[in-house]
């Protein structure tokens, strides 16, 4: 069929090509509503050598995303309406909606709540002190009550910092063998338990980047009780385990860390059955000179925007996940969580599209990334299926490869 886009709006499907239209031949491709990454770290302001808002948008487009939500742990933190508006405006030059998840507390210091109502007025629907947890349960409880009252959600990076302190990888057989300090799964799960109790007491929370089997069981149990707990999972926690740290390659170091096989399997099952309803990358760019240090010194985090789609097509679809479920996890659920309108492929709707070549075989080459950073554990992986481009807000990127 022909898909006709005029002035950024989908027109009635025509068998004939309208005169004067630019024609892109996409035979053999899939066109889906635009993909959305709910958990991205842009490093601007503060660490523009690792990523800018512009380079992050280029990476998103290259990876097939038309929307991202960026986390507030920049320097300074995204903790007031003016800086939130400034970040979002930088995205206007690209076919990518840059949503901001604003800080919960001023400077992400965990003490004083930001001016939530002012920030919500700018369109923000998510708050997080991600990069770390909200240490004080009193602050977290008040944040949930206040955010929920304003129609927004709290995104918790679940971690008991005392249990995880000093750790560089998952606490388990591999950390013992390698002599690396470990972060136990229960460091995450104890905070998830706290969030479940707060949800039961007062409202609604979202759990970032779930990695541990105990966390999955807590979230599943909470959902069974009808509590409003939602959560996300990243490709690396679905595809890798802590054994990968045995080369001391710091591209396998992130927080939460790669876990054991039982955790990986639990996350996969939760992703399949919707206990974890969002697929996100936790895209965390780091400059080469920062990431290329000893394992225990290097910063946590890996880039993800330019591999997530290909990994999903190669590893999720052939392993029991349907395309419609995948799209639910990466198109619809993340936007629902942020109360954004859902893209539809229908006449009269804005053209918000991801174009996918489902058969394109390629080797992941970090040097080709549009991101300013290269810190991926998936370099050299052979993947099938790739984003050909995106169309959004009357802008299009369609690349040849």
Interface residues with Zn ion (CB under 5 A)? 130, 157
Q: Which is nearer to Zn ion, 97 or 130 (CB)?
A: 130
How far apart CA 124 and CA 107 sit, in angstroms, is 17
* Joined tokens for residue 362: 């390629």
Q: How far is the CB of 209 from Zn ion (least distance, A)?
A: 6
Q: How far is the CB of 301 from Zn ion (least distance, A)?
A: 9
Among 149, 48, 144, smallest CA distance to 105 is for 144
Active site residue 242: no
Among 22, 39, 11, 61, smallest CA distance to 282 is for 39
Q: How far is the CB of 155 from Zn ion (least distance, A)?
A: 9
- Beta-carbon contacts of 29 under 8 Å, excluding residues fewer than 6 positions away, are 355, 356, 357, 358, 388
Q: How far is the CB of 99 from Zn ion (least distance, A)?
A: 17
Q: How far is the CB of 284 from Zn ion (least distance, A)?
A: 8
Q: Which is nearer to Zn ion, 157 or 236 (CB)?
A: 157
How far apart CA 3 and CA 11 sit, in angstroms, is 8
Q: Which long-range contacts (CB under 8 A, 24 or more apart) does 242-248 make?
A: 242/169, 242/170, 242/172, 242/174, 242/175, 243/174, 244/377, 245/169, 245/174, 245/175, 245/178, 245/180, 245/295, 246/174, 246/177, 246/178, 248/178, 248/294, 248/295
Q: Which is nearer to Zn ion, 232 or 277 (CB)?
A: 232
Chain residue at closest Cβ approach to Zn ion: 157
Q: Which is nearer to Zn ion, 88 or 157 (CB)?
A: 157
How far apart CA 308 and CA 172 sit, in angstroms, is 27
Of these residues, 37, 282, 290, 357, which one is catalytic? 282
Contact 78, 322 (CB under 8 A): no
Q: Which is nearer to Zn ion, 130 or 171 (CB)?
A: 130
Query: Which residues are annotated as catalytic?
Result: 282
């Amino acid at each position: 069929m022909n898909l006709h886009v005029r002035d950024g709006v989908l027109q009635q499907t025509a068998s004939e090509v309208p005169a004067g239209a630019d024609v892109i031949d996409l035979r053999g491709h899939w066109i889906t509503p635009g993909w959305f990454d709910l958990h991205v770290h842009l490093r601007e302001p503060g660490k523009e050598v690792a990523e800018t808002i512009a380079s992050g948008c280029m990476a998103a487009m290259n990876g097939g995303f038309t929307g991202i939500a960026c986390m507030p742990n920049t320097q300074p933190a995204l903790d007031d309406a003016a800086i939130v508006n400034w970040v979002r405006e930088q995205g206007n030059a690209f076919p990518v909606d840059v949503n901001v998840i604003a800080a919960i507390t001023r400077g992400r210091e965990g003490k004083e709540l930001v001016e939530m109502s002012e920030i919500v007025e700018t369109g923000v629907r998510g708050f997080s002190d991600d990069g770390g947890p909200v240490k004080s349960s009193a602050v977290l409880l008040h944040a949930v009550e206040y955010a929920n009252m304003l129609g927004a959600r709290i995104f918790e990076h679940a971690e008991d910092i005392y249990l995880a302190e000093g750790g560089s990888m998952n606490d388990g057989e591999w950390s013992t063998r390698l002599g690396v300090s470990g972060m136990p799964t229960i460091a995450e799960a104890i905070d998830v338990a706290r969030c479940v109790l707060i949800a039961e007491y007062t409202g609604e929370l979202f759990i970032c980047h779930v990695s541990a089997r105990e966390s999955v069981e807590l979230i599943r149990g909470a959902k069974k009780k009808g509590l409003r707990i939602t959560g996300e999972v990243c490709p690396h926690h679905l595809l890798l385990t802590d054994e990968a740290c045995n080369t001391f390659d710091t591209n396998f170091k992130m927080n939460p860390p790669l876990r054991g096989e039982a955790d990986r399997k639990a996350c996969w099952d939760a992703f399949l059955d919707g206990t974890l309803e969002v697929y996100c990358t936790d895209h965390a760019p780091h400059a080469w000179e920062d990431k290329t240090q000893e394992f225990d010194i290097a910063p946590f985090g890996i880039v993800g925007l330019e591999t997530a789609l290909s990994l999903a097509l190669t590893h999720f679809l052939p392993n029991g996940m349907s395309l419609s479920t995948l799209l639910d996890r990466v198109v619809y659920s993340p936007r629902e969580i942020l109360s954004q309108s859902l893209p539809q492929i229908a006449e009269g709707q804005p053209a918000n599209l991801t174009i996918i070549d489902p058969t394109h075989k390629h080797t992941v080459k970090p040097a080709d990334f549009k991101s300013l950073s290269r810190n991926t554990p998936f370099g050299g992986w052979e993947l099938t299926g790739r984003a050909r481009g995106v169309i959004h807000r009357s802008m299009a990127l369609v690349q040849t490869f």
